[in-house]
């Protein structure tokens, strides 16, 4: 029996998410897939039922992310289903609570952008004026508002308040983003969800969750990548034999597998600790991301190499997975970002 990547979050939700991702990928309709995800309540999965959400757990979020990672659609699950609701819940203001209520009611659809370089000018009426380049806004899937972290402010920016994009891009994994040049964009006081230390703290909390969710995505994608490699090597015949008979290729896959097992158990421990303590440990999250960044790059490059020329083709499932791994490395903080976060604490003390 060949290798099948185990899920960390087995159950109906994982199975349903994996089926949904496979079907949606086959249909090739990302916008339609996102509408379905919204209809299934995934953007409010983590929100308490008392607040109108689905009352799901971290494991439920993990099941959705893992399931979808097996057939990468490029849905913004981390930003919209983890980071956005977490930011609103952590902000703890009336305006944030109202936005959360609207999200649960399906009245708003939120993208999340971190924009530390924007110039923010406070206005006398409590509103703000924004100047500068707002980078990385979703350019493919519909949304009504952007949750913006700018300095020590959290802002809710209506989509229709944004000027036309100055540029649009397709990422390595196919996701589309846009940059918008803001010139004196004025937002009323009601658009300010939180300020100061409370805003900074909420941003940090939600970012930890987003980083963690990204690592789950990466581990699951790596598992799916290994499956693809094994299938390919077992069926592709060269020199009259299956490629899987060549020891050097088998060993390459084994190295990917050991990486995958290591990542999986490390993340399982993080989940268990989080359930036990009720909160994600920021340092542990950063350490996992640093590690997964390394493994993701290694796994993507190995997969491309193992597939030979086929590994360079854009439509092959393995190619999609590899490109997703390469992108995920830079999402929610590359190696340098994680190193900066980890620099404050010595290594040995934490073992």
Partner 1 sequence: MTTESRSTDIDYEAFRLEVEAFAQSQCPADLRERVRSNAKMCREDYAAWQRILNARGWAAPGWPVAFGGTGWDMRQRYLFELVMAERDCPPQYHHGLGHIGPVLLHFGTPEQHARFIPGILDGSDWWCQGYSEPGAGSDLAALKTRALREGDEYVVTGQKIWTSHAHEADWMYTLVRTSSEGRKQEGITLLLIPLNSPGIRIQPIRTIDAWHHVNEVFLDEVRVPVANRLGEEGGGWKCAKFLLDRERLAPAIVVRLERLLQQVAAQVQGSPHGTSAFAERLLLAEAEVRAARELLLSAIDDEMNGRLRASKSSALKLHCSELAQRIIGIAFDALGPRRAARFVPLAEDGALQVAEDDQSNMIHNYLFYRSRTIAGGTSEVQKNVIARELFGA
Q: Which stretch, 28-36, 66-74, 309-317, 338-346, contacts partner 1 (CB under 8 A)?
A: 338-346
Q: Is 168 in the site for partner 1 (CB under 8 A)?
A: no
By beta-carbon proximity to partner 1, the closer residue of 234 and 279 is 234
Q: Is 301 in the site for partner 1 (CB under 8 A)?
A: no
Q: Is 19 in the site for partner 1 (CB under 8 A)?
A: no
Q: Of the candidates 48, 98, 131, 294, which one interacts with partner 1 according to CB under 8 A?
A: 294
Q: Is 348 in the site for partner 1 (CB under 8 A)?
A: yes
Q: Of the candidates 119, 183, 237, 269, which one interacts with partner 1 according to CB under 8 A?
A: 269
Q: Is 344 in the site for partner 1 (CB under 8 A)?
A: no
By beta-carbon proximity to partner 1, the closer residue of 147 and 219 is 219
Q: Of the candidates 108, 287, 300, 304, which one interacts with partner 1 according to CB under 8 A?
A: 287
Q: Is 342 in the site for partner 1 (CB under 8 A)?
A: yes
Q: Of the candidates 27, 265, 310, 312, which one interacts with partner 1 according to CB under 8 A?
A: 265
Contact assessment for residue 78 and residue 175, using Cβ atoms and an 8 Å cutoff: no
By beta-carbon proximity to partner 1, the closer residue of 239 and 347 is 347
Q: Is 281 in the site for partner 1 (CB under 8 A)?
A: no
Q: Is 272 in the site for partner 1 (CB under 8 A)?
A: yes
Through-space distance between the first and last CA atoms of the chain, rounded to whole angstroms: 37
Task: Please state the closest distance from residue 275 (CB atom) to partner 1, in A.
Answer: 8
Q: Is 277 in the site for partner 1 (CB under 8 A)?
A: no
Task: Please state the closest distance from residue 272 (CB atom) to partner 1, in A.
Answer: 4
Q: Is 300 in the site for partner 1 (CB under 8 A)?
A: no
Q: Is 279 in the site for partner 1 (CB under 8 A)?
A: no
> How many Cβ atoms from other residues are within 10 Å of residue 255's Cβ?
12
Site for partner 1 in 48-67 (CB under 8 A): 59
Binding mask 217-256 for partner 1 (x = CB under 8 A): ---------x---x--xx---------x--x--xx-xxx-
CA–CA gap between residue 33 and residue 91 (Å, rounded): 29
| Widest CA span in the chain | 78
Q: Pick from 51, 159, 171: which is nearest to 112 by CA?
A: 159
Q: Is 290 in the site for partner 1 (CB under 8 A)?
A: yes
Site residues (CB under 8 A) for partner 1? 1-3, 8-9, 59, 226, 230, 233-234, 244, 247, 250-251, 253-255, 257-258, 261-263, 265-266, 268-269, 271-272, 287-288, 290-291, 294, 335, 339, 342-343, 346-348, 350-351
């Amino acid at each position: 029996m060949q290798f099948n990547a185990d899920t960390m979050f087995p159950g109906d939700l994982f199975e349903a998410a994996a089926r949904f991702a496979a079907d949606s990928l086959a249909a090739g309709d990302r916008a339609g897939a996102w509408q379905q995800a919204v209809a299934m309540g995934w953007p409010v999965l983590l929100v308490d039922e008392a607040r109108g959400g689905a009352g799901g757990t971290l494991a439920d979020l993990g099941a959705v992310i893992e399931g979808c990672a097996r057939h990468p659609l490029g849905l913004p699950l981390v930003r919209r289903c983890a980071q956005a609701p977490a930011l609103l819940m952590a902000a703890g203001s009336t305006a944030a609570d109202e936005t959360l209520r609207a999200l649960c009611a399906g009245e708003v659809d939120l993208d999340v952008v971190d924009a530390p370089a924007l110039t923010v000018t406070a206005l006398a009426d409590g509103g703000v004026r924004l100047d500068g380049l707002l980078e990385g806004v979703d350019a493919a899937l519909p949304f009504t508002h952007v949750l913006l972290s700018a300095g020590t402010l959290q802002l809710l920016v209506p989509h229709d308040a944004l000027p036309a994009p100055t540029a649009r891009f397709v990422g390595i994994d196919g996701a589309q983003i846009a940059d918008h040049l803001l010139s004196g964009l004025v937002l009323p006081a009601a658009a300010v969800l939180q300020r100061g230390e409370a805003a900074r703290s909420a941003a940090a909390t939600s970012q930890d969750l987003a980083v963690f969710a990204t690592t789950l995505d990466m581990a699951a994608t790596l598992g799916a990548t290994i499956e693809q490699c094994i299938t390919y090597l077992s069926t592709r015949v060269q020199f009259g034999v299956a490629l899987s008979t060549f020891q050097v290729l088998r060993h390459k896959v084994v190295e990917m597998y050991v990486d995958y097992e290591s990542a999986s158990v490390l993340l399982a421990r993080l989940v268990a600790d989080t359930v036990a303590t009720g909160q994600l440990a920021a340092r542990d999250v950063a350490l996992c991301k640093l590690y997964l960044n390394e493994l993701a790059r290694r796994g993507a490059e190995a997969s491309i190499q193992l597939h030979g020329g086929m590994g360079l083709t854009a439509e092959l499932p393995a190619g999609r997975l590899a490109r997703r791994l390469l992108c995920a490395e830079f999402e929610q903080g590359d190696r340098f970002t994680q190193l900066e976060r980890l620099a404050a604490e010595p290594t040995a003390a934490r073992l």
